Every structure is written in C-alpha cells, then in structure tokens.
C-alpha cells in the first residue's frame, strides 16, 4: 500500500475515534440545573474570549499572508499554506475547548456516582482533543503532500504551514496563559489569602474567570501548542529530506529517494496514532471503587503500551520503506529520551520525591526560603533533560546524521495522542471540581475531583517534559534545515566569527525578555483582578454573607481585554526578532541567534515549568496535613510560592517551547530571501 494512504487512513481513524469519544461524552448526564447554569457561564466566557482572540489573530494572519505573498521569492502559494496552518492550529484549539466546556459539567455529574465514572468522562474528553490534534495534523500534511509533493517549491511551501500553526499557537498560548493565571492568582490573593474563603467559593467574583481561564489557556492554548509541536517536528524532518538522500554527514544515503524521506516522519507519526488509540483504550480500572494509585498505574500502562507499539510500528516503517536501520535507532533514542525526560520531570515536581518535600519543609521558615528552594529546584532540574537531549542528539547524529536529529524529535512526539489526552483531562477535572464547589455538591464529590486533578498534575508534568524535550530537538532540526535552505556550509558558520557570537548572545536574551513581558502581563492583570474583587467585596452589600451574588462577568471582561492586548507584544517580538537579526547581521549571525535562543530558552522553559510544578505540589503536600496543613503559616507561605510559580509554569514556560521553534521556522520560511542578502553590517 502507498505510504501516504496509510498515513491518511491512520489520521482518519484518529478523527473517527475522536468522534466516538465525543459522542460518548455528550451523551452523559449534564447534572442538576445549578451545574448547568455554572457550566453555561463558563461556556459563554470561554467562547467570547476565543471569538475576540481569533478576530485579532485573523487580522494578524491576513497581514502576514499579504506580506508573504508580496515577497517575490516566496509568493502566494506560501501565503496560502501559511493561512491553512493558522486555521488548522486554531481549529485544534477550538475543537478541544468545545468539548472541554461541555465535559466539565458532565464530569461533575459523573463524579457524583464514582471516581471511575469521573475519570472516564474527563479522560475521554481529553482524548477527543488528543486525537483531533494528531488526526488533523497528519491529514493536513498528507493533503499538502498530495497537492504540492511534485512541485519544485515543496520545501519552500511546507514550512509555511508550520509558520502558520506556530504563529497561532504562540498567541493562543500567551493570551490563554495570561487569562488563566491572572484570574487564578487574582482569585487566590483575595479569596484564599485575604478573606480566607475556600478555593472556588461562589462569593469570589473572579471564580468564573478562573474556570474560563482553565479552558482558554490550559485547553485551547495547549491544543494549538501541541498541534504546532506535532506538525513542526514532522515538517523539520521533511525539510531535511535532501540531507537524508545525499547523506551529507554519513557515508551512504539513508533513504532510497526523497519521497521516502518525506513519508517516513508521517508514517512514524501515523503509527503513533494507532499506538495511542490502543493505549487510550488500555486506560481502564476495574470496579467502581478504584484508588488513586490504580488510576495512575492505568494511565502509565496506557502510555507505556503506546510507546512500545510506536517503536514497533516505526521499525516496520523503516523496514518496509527500505530505510537505513540507523534511522530507526534515532527514532528509538528520541522515544526513550522522551519517556526518561517525563520521569525526571516527575521526580523534580511530585511530592512523592525529595526535592518537592524539601520545598514543603522550607515553608516552615516562610515564603522567602520556600521560593528560594523551589527556584533552585527548577534550575537543578535542567540537568537530566539537557543530558538526555544532548545524548539523543549525538546518538541520532551518529546513526543517521542531521536527518536523525530531526526524526528523533518525531519519535519523541509520536505518542502525542495519548500524552495529550492525559494532559487535557486535567483542566476538565479542575473545572468539574470548581463546579462541584460552586453548586454545593457533597464534599466527597470535591474530594474525588481533587484526586482527579492531582493525578492530572502528575501527568501534566510528564507531558510538559515531553513537550520541552521535543521542542529542543525540533528547534535544532529546524535550525539545521534553515542553514541548509539558506546555503550555509559547515565552514561558514564558525564560533570564531564575532557575528555568530553576537548572534548567540542576542538569541540568549530573547527568551529572557519574552518571559519578562509575559510575567509582567500576568502580574499587571492579576493586580487589576485583585482590585476588582476587592471592590466587589467592598461595594456589594451582603456578598461576604452569601446574600448577594458577585458580578462574575466583570472579571471575565478584564481578563479578556488584558490578555488580548498583552499577547500582541511578545508574539510580535518572537516573529520580528529573527527577521531583524537576519537583515541587520546577516544569515550566518541568524544561525548563531537561533542556537542561543534554543539553548537559553530550553534552560528557562525547564526551570520555569519545574519550579512552578514543585511549588504547586509543595503546597498540595502541606494541604495533605504536613506542617500544620491548610490555614497554617506554612500553608500561607506555600500559597505565595504557588502564585509565583503559576505564570512561570503556565504562561511563560510553555510559550517558550513555541518561541524557540517559531523563530527557527520564521528563519526557514524567509531563507530564500535571506540567502541573497548579506546583512547590513
């Protein structure tokens, strides 16, 4: 059978499974009227935000599309494919959120029956998003191949799809991230810290905004993000196809022809879809009275099965396409490193291990020492992923040249379908818990959703490890593809060239400035939220006593406006910086710039994700009763730590994954322009 047909069939199966899961979710009971009301308010806010966000993005995408089309060396086909990439990415986020905002009430209702029922509804809604992301990804890349595969411009056109997807992803991640964290910390500061009312208490005016934030940030933003990761890794490998054929780094060619070099990543990804589906169906626990440990084991079993099957499918693809076996070792190295990075993330962020327990311990001497310890933990946690990424890169390169580096990234992301499902169900469970609290459901329901949420935190941490590891490899592959496309030879791009060194320094600065902008945006917006919630407590009579209702819409509105206004700056920075460096310092300096950005961005992304994760779980550990439990001085210190970590782990950190790839993709797309241009100085 034609490999492209296989890919299309696998993608179709993915979409089919998504439809099946969606049907299951939508058939579930929506719960009481109260639950429905709350869920409707969340839905309204989330959809309103997405409408406004996408309107702004439409303007941006149109402007860039016109610019691309008018550059003679690129043209309107590039422009069109860019738009398609943007639409596909936006769609992945939209579909994921659409099911999530329907699954939250249903999960709350199902959890009233049992933990297992709750898991089933929330996990299946996550699977809808996971399967949509990978299905749309494979199908749209197949369609592009069928349309442009024989065009001499294929390698100019295909990166434009990644550019479109990444552009939408970065805005969605930043905008959603600002929204969710500003609402979350704003609600916590007034609710938990000042008024000492529980989380998600209906008297808190920011509580609906907080729930909306989970959906627009942790679901829609993440969906676009993961879609971008998935297609970028495949595109990076395709872009290095020539290298595989002409075996620039190795003695013999790796693939029989260029088409095979293009098919292979798609087939590996397609195999990963089938493996993920089997893994997803393997996630089940026996009986109604399942315990947390059993749930975690069930999820783990699913991902392990998916990983092993992906390796098997990848081997079959390599074998039947008559590809050099070295390429399989590269894929296997990526797949293995992904699992190990996930485990190391878990070690540094779970309260089952020493690092996070020590952070909880430091809470006894206050927020200052707790924050120092958590930040140190985040910095230390860069050690294993860096060693694993460097090791994978060297192994992959040894066996399969620079094509191997790219396809190792595909291997790492091949199980995205199930990873994404385990990631995306967390926010649904979180929302369900909030709805349970607001709707006044019995406390055991809240306990169950908390258990689901805690489990979601663990799997989310693992997922973040995967995402950043794969981002590192993909960004390197895109950078290498850029140097090929722009015609930089081995001896051209020397570390002894001051422009290259200057590029590295400038590149290292961009992630720092980007984080500064996004952290500030969250800081500013949560400041506004705090003042609004305080104002409502002050001005609305009877609110504290529960006799009046807060104006939830006001907080949703503040977050919406602020998030959309403040996503623009950092987004534009990401796209403009490589263009400016390329035009002023030239294409060689731009190569240095990209590597500086990848290295420093990787360090910051891992630090931010894991420091944030460990503060969150250090707080959770105290909430289990350690050091005085909830309400103690230690707990207050831990709440402050969690607030500091929130924008780091959910706004700046994940956006950095996109940033390092997007800057490389921009460079790759503009390579034909930059190739003929030496730089102004």
Residues 33-72 close enough to bind a copy of itself by CB under 8 A = none
DSSP 491: G
487 belongs to the binding site for a copy of itself (CB under 8 A):
no
Among 41, 261, 298, 519, indicate the residue that binds a copy of itself (CB under 8 A): 519
Neighbour tally for 427: CB within 10 Å: 31
Sign of CA dihedral 343, 370, 519, 100: positive
* Whether the Cβ atoms of residue 155 and residue 458 lie closer than 8 Å to each other: no
How many CA atoms within 13 Å lie on the side-chain side of 461? Answer: 27
| Smallest distance from a copy of itself to CB 484, Å | 9
Contacts with a copy of itself in 332-371 (CB under 8 A)? 362, 364-369, 371
- Decide if residue 502 touches a copy of itself (CB under 8 A): yes
For the bound state, the minimum distance from the C-beta of residue 238 to a copy of itself, rounded and expressed in Å, comes to 19
Is residue 644 a contact residue for a copy of itself (CB under 8 A)?
yes
CA distance 474 to 234: 9
CA distance 470 to 386: 12
Provide, rounded to whole angstroms, the least separation between the CB of residue 397 and a copy of itself.
4
- Closest distance between a copy of itself and the C-beta of residue 594, in Å? 9
Per CB under 8 A, does 309 bind a copy of itself? no
> How many Å apart are CA 115 and CA 110, to the nearest integer?
8
Window 73 to 102, contacts with a copy of itself (CB under 8 A): none
The burial class, CB within 10 Å (0-12 / 13-18 / 19+), for 625 is: exposed
Distance CA 651, CA 347 (A): 22
Exactly one of 75, 527, 565, 632 binds a copy of itself (CB under 8 A); which one?
527
Nearer to a copy of itself among residue 35 and residue 530 (C-beta): 530
* The residue to which tokens 């109604």 are assigned: 288
- Run of H or E including 45: helix 33-70
495 binds a copy of itself (CB under 8 A): yes
Is residue 473 packed enough to be buried (19+ CB in 10 Å), middle (13-18) or exposed (0-12)?
Answer: buried
Based on the shown chain and the rule CB under 8 A, indicate whether residue 246 belongs to the binding site for a copy of itself. Answer: no
Q: Does 32 help bind a copy of itself (rule: CB under 8 A)?
A: no
614 binds a copy of itself (CB under 8 A): no
Kindly tell me which of 21 and 519 has the beta carbon lying closer to a copy of itself. 519
Work out how close the CB of 415 gets to a copy of itself at its nearest, in angstroms, rounded to a whole number: 24
Q: Is 509 in the site for a copy of itself (CB under 8 A)?
A: yes
Nearer to a copy of itself, 381 or 459 (CB): 381
Question: Is residue 26 near a copy of itself by the rule CB under 8 A?
Answer: no
Q: Which one of 115-123, 126-134, 152-160, 523-531 is the stretch in contact with a copy of itself (CB under 8 A)?
A: 523-531
244 binds a copy of itself (CB under 8 A): no
Is 411 near a copy of itself (CB under 8 A)?
no
- With binding defined as CB under 8 A, does residue 537 bind a copy of itself? no
In whole angstroms, how close is the CB of 272 to a copy of itself at the nearest point? 25
- The CA radius of gyration of the chain, in Å to the nearest whole number, is 24
Which residues, 6 or more positions from 300, have their beta carbon under 8 angstroms from its beta carbon? none
CB of 612 to a copy of itself, least distance (A): 11
Residue 492: CB atoms within 10 A of its CB come to 14
Q: Which of residues 178-207 bind a copy of itself (CB under 8 A)?
A: 185, 189, 193
User: How many Cα atoms sit within 13 Å of 55 on the Cβ side?
Assistant: 10
Tell me which residues in 572-611 interact with a copy of itself (CB under 8 A). 591-592, 595-596, 599-600, 602-603, 607
Residue selected from 643, 659, 664, 674 as contacting a copy of itself according to rule CB under 8 A: 643
443-486 helix and 416-438 helix, angle to the nearest 10 degrees: 140
Q: What single-letter DSSP state applies at residue 648?
A: I
Sequence-distant (6+) residues with CB within 8 A of 605 are: 468, 471, 511, 653, 654, 656, 657, 660
Q: Is 493 in the site for a copy of itself (CB under 8 A)?
A: yes
């Amino acid at each position: 059978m034609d490999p492209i047909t296989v890919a299309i069939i696998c993608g179709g199966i993915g979409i089919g499974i998504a439809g099946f899961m969606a049907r299951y979710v939508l058939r579930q009971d929506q719960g009481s009227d109260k639950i429905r009301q709350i869920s409707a308010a969340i839905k309204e806010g989330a959809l309103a935000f997405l409408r406004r966000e996408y309107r702004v993005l439409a303007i941006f995408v149109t402007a860039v599309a016109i610019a691309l089309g008018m550059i003679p060396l690129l043209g309107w086909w590039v422009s069109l494919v860019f738009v398609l990439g943007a639409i596909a990415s936006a769609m992945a986020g939209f579909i994921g959120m659409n099911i999530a905002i329907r699954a939250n009430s249903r999960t709350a209702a199902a959890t009233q029956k049992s933990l297992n029922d709750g898991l089933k509804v929330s996990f299946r809604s996550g699977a809808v998003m996971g399967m949509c992301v990978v299905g749309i990804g494979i199908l749209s890349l197949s369609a592009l191949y069928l349309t442009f595969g024989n065009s001499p411009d294929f390698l100019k056109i295909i990166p434009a799809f990644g550019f479109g997807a990444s552009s939408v992803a970065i805005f969605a991640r930043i905008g959603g991230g600002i929204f969710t964290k500003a609402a979350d910390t704003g609600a916590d500061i007034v609710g938990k810290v000042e008024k000492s009312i529980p989380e998600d208490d209906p008297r808190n005016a920011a509580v609906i905004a907080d729930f909306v934030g989970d959906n627009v940030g942790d679901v829609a933003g993440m969906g676009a993000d993961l879609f971008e990761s998935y297609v970028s890794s495949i595109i990076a490998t395709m872009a290095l196809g020539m290298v595989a054929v002409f075996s620039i780094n190795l003695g013999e060619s790796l693939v029989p022809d260029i088409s095979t070099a293009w098919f292979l990543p798609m087939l590996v990804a397609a195999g990963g879809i089938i493996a993920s589906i089997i893994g997803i169906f393997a996630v089940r626990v026996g009986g109604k009275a399942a315990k947390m440990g059993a749930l975690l084991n069930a999820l783990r079993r699913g991902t392990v099965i998916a990983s092993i099957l992906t390796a098997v499918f990848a081997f079959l693809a390599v074998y039947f396409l008559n590809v050099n076996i070295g390429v399989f070792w590269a894929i296997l190295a990526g797949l293995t490193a992904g699992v190990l990075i996930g485990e190391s993330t878990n070690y540094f962020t779970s309260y089952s291990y020493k690092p996070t327990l020590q952070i909880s311990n430091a809470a006894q001497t206050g927020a200052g020492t707790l924050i120092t310890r958590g930040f140190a933990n985040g910095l230390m946690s860069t050690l294993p992923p860096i060693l694993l990424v460097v090791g994978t890169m060297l192994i992959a390169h040894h066996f399969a040249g620079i094509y191997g580096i790219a396809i190792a990234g595909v291997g790492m992301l091949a199980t995205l379908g199930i990873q994404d499902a385990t990631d995306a169900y967390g926010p649904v469970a979180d929302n369900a818990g909030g709805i349970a609290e607001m709707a006044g459901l019995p406390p055991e329901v809240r306990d169950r959703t908390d258990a689901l949420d805690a489990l979601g935190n663990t799997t989310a941490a693992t997922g973040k490890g995967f995402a950043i590891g794969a981002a590192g490899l993909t960004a390197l592959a895109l950078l290498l593809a850029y140097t090929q496309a722009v015609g930089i030879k081995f001896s051209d791009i020397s570390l002894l060239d001051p422009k290259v060194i200057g590029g590295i320094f400038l590149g290292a600065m961009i992630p720092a400035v980007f984080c500064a902008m996004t952290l500030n945006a969250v800081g500013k917006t949560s400041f506004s939220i705090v003042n609004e919630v305080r104002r409502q407590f002050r001005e609305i009579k009877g609110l504290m006593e529960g006799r009046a209702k807060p104006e939830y819409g006001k907080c949703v509105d503040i977050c919406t406006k602020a998030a959309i206004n403040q996503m623009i700056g950092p987004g534009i920075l990401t796209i403009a910086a490589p263009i400016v460096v390329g035009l002023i310092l030239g294409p060689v300096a731009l190569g240095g710039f990209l590597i500086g950005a990848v290295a420093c961005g990787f360090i910051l992304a891992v630090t931010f994700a894991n420091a944030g994760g460990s503060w969150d779980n250090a707080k959770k550990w105290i909430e289990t009763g350690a050091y005085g439990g909830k309400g103690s001085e230690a707990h207050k210190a831990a709440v402050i730590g969690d607030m500091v970590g929130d924008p780091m782990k959910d706004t700046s950190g994940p956006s950095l994954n996109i940033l390092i790839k997007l800057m490389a993709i921009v460079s790759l797309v503009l390579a034909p322009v930059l190739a003929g241009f030496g730089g102004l100085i």
